[in-house]
Chain A
Amino acid sequence: MIKCGECGYENMDGLDYCDGCGGKLAAGDASAAGGTKAEAPAATPAAETKPETPAAEAPKPSEAATGEIKPEVPASAETAWAQGASSGQPAGATAAFKAKLSVVRGGRKGQEFPLEDGNNLVGRWDPETGSFPEVDLDADDPEAKISRKHALIRIEGSKITVEDIGSLNGTYVNRQPRLSPGNPVEVKSGDEIIIGKTFLKLTVEPIA
């Protein structure tokens, strides 16, 4: 039996939440019934209701979803996009340049996103739909005009393309007509790419 430290209810071994009050039970520790308090300070929930409050416990990896502690764009080219799209480049064949997108209007001006070889998903971080884009514009999208999976930027050798993948509000290159979904177009350094209502600039620099 695990006795709940909060309400005293006696729960079956193996349970993680009290059947009485729903409080978190000290995991698997049947003997230390009194020790649950330390982990669940249920007496003061009201003071901590602000969404900004970081979790009091040791941060778990999934905390990345808070929108504030997002991991940087993964540095490894083997990082496959959530949908299982494959990296375009064979391992080891790194390009002789580095490419990045920077926000020029409609978001955090100056914010930069380095681009990797292969596919770079542009969109909004959303664990509900499993959207974990390399270029996460969640914080650069005040009007919510960007789709979770909005566009793909693909680097293959020296060629860079952008493709709209069925977004609601569209993708535009250099103020030309809206890209038709599923058709990649080639872009080059200095081009302006509009994702929803966020304006980005592509910069390509040779590696010194």
Chain B
Amino acid sequence: MAEPVSFEALASSDHVLSSAENFVLYVLLEAIARGKGGGGRVPLNLAVVIDRSGSMYDERRLEFVVEAVKFLADNLNAGDTVSIVAFADKAKVICTPDQARDKAAVKRAIDDIDLLEIGGGTQMALGMRAAIDEVKKNLSADRLNRVLVLTDGQTYEETACIDLAAQNREQISFSTMGVGVEFNEKLLQRIAQDSNGKYHFIGNPAEIPGIFEDELQGLRAVSVRNGRIDVTLSQGVQVREAFRASPEIYVLGQPLVGEDRKISYEIGDLQAGVPGSVLLTLVLPPRQPGTVRILQSGFHYDVPGAGESQATCDLTVEYTLDRTLTSKRNGRVMNLVDQVSIAKLQAKAEEELKAGHVDRATRLLGNALQGTQRLGNAKATQALAGLMDQIKKTQTLQTKAAKTTLLQAQAVVRKTQMLDPEALKEFQKSE
């Protein structure tokens, strides 16, 4: 395979209704890195930031963190570096990248995390700052520079955390892990998505080592870096909404479309075989029947050791009067439209609940639930059903159990479900 990446622009339908009105079309812009991944060709430059506030002693949270860090230490390759930072009221680097060359030293340092005299509060920004300093010691475009932040509490100085991630996003990505129900999930989601890291909700502390494993496998599978999707819209075409559609689902801010009608979406590093995509809801102007190009797009990326590259793709549709043609949908695009819509419904239900509109929230969740059932997403169905039960029971979600169901549902509908090889083949056949 010559091209390391496949890039496609796919519309929800190849046909658009020709009428006097505007028409909505979903467009999926999707890049998939080929190659095997898993080779760990790109060395890692990691820092782990651990919350050591008082509550981390609850539910054996700290014990599982210790286990997770040891797993990490055991699975690093010779060219990788790691540092460990603990924070509470103060931050302390308990293992520098130099010291961490000795795996036993990492294990000793993490074993002694409970002996540190750093208070019992939650100053996450201090921890992040110390970790950034450590990562910068080995900062290189040829390494995957990532900070893993784990916390279980509401931090002071939230804006400082957001600024730190934003200021360093060009070089460093941040993956965030929230344990329990006391942390601010919006903050952790924001830090991760701003820097193209991942957000993890950890309802049960026993999951912590598994999340570290996921992070490590994910980093090892990266084969294309610094992806950017550029779009040039044709005259009269507008973006109504934009979503990151995989590997996580979240809303992208309204783009500023200049006179040149160009928009760019930074999508970060791609793991081999895991799509990186953006889903646009476009509003197309009325037109006479005929073929029209609605956008031009390009995917810009770096291949480690081989430099920059780009793939381009135009998207044309056919305006027609025939409604049987306009009702034909692309299965792959609609699958993601469904998934994005479910995430939207969940978010909307949350807002309604905050405003005290329990009935409306329940109704929205009911619609989301139908969607997850239609898609056969058992995990999300279960999470949403659990959330609905809790809302009916408590009306406000103030209890810990209820808040857990909310965080769980949020996290589950946020993760894009990939199509298995058989389903993908079916969809591609009909394209």
List residues of A whose CB falls within 8 A of some B CB: 1, 12-17, 21-24, 27-31, 40, 42, 45-46, 48-51, 53-57, 59-69, 71, 74, 79-80, 82-85, 125, 127-130, 132, 144, 147-149, 165-168, 181
Given the interface pairs A1-B21, A130-B274, the reply to whether A65 lies near B426 with Cβ below 8 Å is no
Which of B158-166, B180-188, B302-310, B370-378 lies at the interface?
Answer: B370-378
Q: A65: nearest residue on chain B (CB-CB)?
A: B376
Q: A40: nearest residue on chain B (CB-CB)?
A: B370
Given the interface pairs A14-B23, A16-B341, A83-B273, the reply to whether A64 lies near B420 with Cβ below 8 Å is yes
Choice from A48, A67, A149 contacting B373 with Cβ under 8 Å: A48
Q: A69: nearest residue on chain B (CB-CB)?
A: B376
Q: Which 10 A-B pairs have the closest CB atoms?
A: A28-B327, A45-B366, A63-B376, A14-B24, A61-B423, A49-B385, A127-B417, A51-B382, A130-B418, A128-B415
How close is B370's CB to chain A, nearest CB, in angstroms? 7
How close is B125's CB to chain A, nearest CB, in angstroms? 30
Given the interface pairs A28-B323, A181-B75, the reply to whether A62 lies near B420 with Cβ below 8 Å is yes
Choice from B210, B335, B345 contacting A144 with Cβ under 8 Å: B210
Q: Which of B27-42 contact A (CB under 8 A)?
A: 34-38
Q: Is the interface of A mostly helix, strand, loop or mixed?
A: loop
Choice from A12, A46, A48, A125 contacting B23 with Cβ under 8 Å: A12
What residues of B have a CB within 8 angstroms of the CB of A29 in the complex? 323, 327
Contact with A along B235-256 (1 / 0, CB 8 A): 0000000000001000000000
Q: Are A166 and B217 in contact (CB under 8 A)?
A: yes
Contact with A along B41-82 (1 / 0, CB 8 A): 000000000000000000000000000000100010000000
What residues of A have a CB within 8 angstroms of the CB of B24 in the complex? 12-15
What residues of A have a CB within 8 angstroms of the CB of B334 in the complex? 16
What residues of A have a CB within 8 angstroms of the CB of B345 in the complex? 17, 22
Q: Are B329 and A22 in contact (CB under 8 A)?
A: no
Given the interface pairs A51-B381, A168-B209, the reply to whether A64 lies near B376 with Cβ below 8 Å is yes
Contact with A along B390-426 (1 / 0, CB 8 A): 0000000000000000000000000111111111001
Choice from B16, B213, B369, B371 contacting A147 with Cβ under 8 Å: B213
Choice from B37, B381, B419 contacting A127 with Cβ under 8 Å: B419
What residues of A have a CB within 8 angstroms of the CB of B423 in the complex? 60-62, 64
Given the interface pairs A64-B376, A165-B38, the reply to whether A13 lies near B17 with Cβ below 8 Å is yes
Bound-state CA distance A68–B38 (Å) is 29
Number of residues on chain B facing chain A (CB within 8 A) = 78
Q: A70: nearest residue on chain B (CB-CB)?
A: B420
B326 at interface (Cβ–Cβ under 8 A)? yes
Other than A14-B25, A45-B370, give 8 A-B pairs with Cβ distance below 8 A.
Answer: A14-B12, A24-B371, A45-B366, A49-B389, A51-B378, A56-B373, A66-B377, A129-B217
What residues of A have a CB within 8 angstroms of the CB of B341 in the complex? 16-17, 22
Q: Which of B176-209 contact A (CB under 8 A)?
A: 209
How close is A167's CB to chain B, nearest CB, in angstroms? 7
B337 at interface (Cβ–Cβ under 8 A)? yes
Q: Which of B314-361 contact A (CB under 8 A)?
A: 323, 326-329, 334-335, 337-338, 341, 344-345, 348
Q: Are A27 and B327 in contact (CB under 8 A)?
A: yes
Bound-state CA distance A193–B264 (Å) is 49
Q: B214: nearest residue on chain A (CB-CB)?
A: A129
Q: B367: nearest residue on chain A (CB-CB)?
A: A22
B220 at interface (Cβ–Cβ under 8 A)? yes
Q: Which of A27, A69, A165 has the most CB of B within 10 A?
A: A27
B364 at interface (Cβ–Cβ under 8 A)? yes
How close is B163's CB to chain A, nearest CB, in angstroms? 30
B368 at interface (Cβ–Cβ under 8 A)? yes
Q: Are B418 and A42 in contact (CB under 8 A)?
A: no
Q: Are A65 and B377 in contact (CB under 8 A)?
A: yes
Bound-state CA distance A42–B13 (Å) is 26
B113 at interface (Cβ–Cβ under 8 A)? no
B168 at interface (Cβ–Cβ under 8 A)? no
What residues of B have a CB within 8 angstroms of the CB of A84 in the complex? 34-37, 272-273
Bound-state CA distance A14–B377 (Å) is 25
Choice from A28, A57, A65, A165 contacting B13 with Cβ under 8 Å: A28
How close is A166's CB to chain B, nearest CB, in angstroms? 6
Choice from A42, A85, A128 contacting B366 with Cβ under 8 Å: A42
What residues of A have a CB within 8 angstroms of the CB of B23 in the complex? 12-14
What residues of A have a CB within 8 angstroms of the CB of B344 in the complex? 17, 22
Bound-state CA distance A69–B37 (Å) is 29
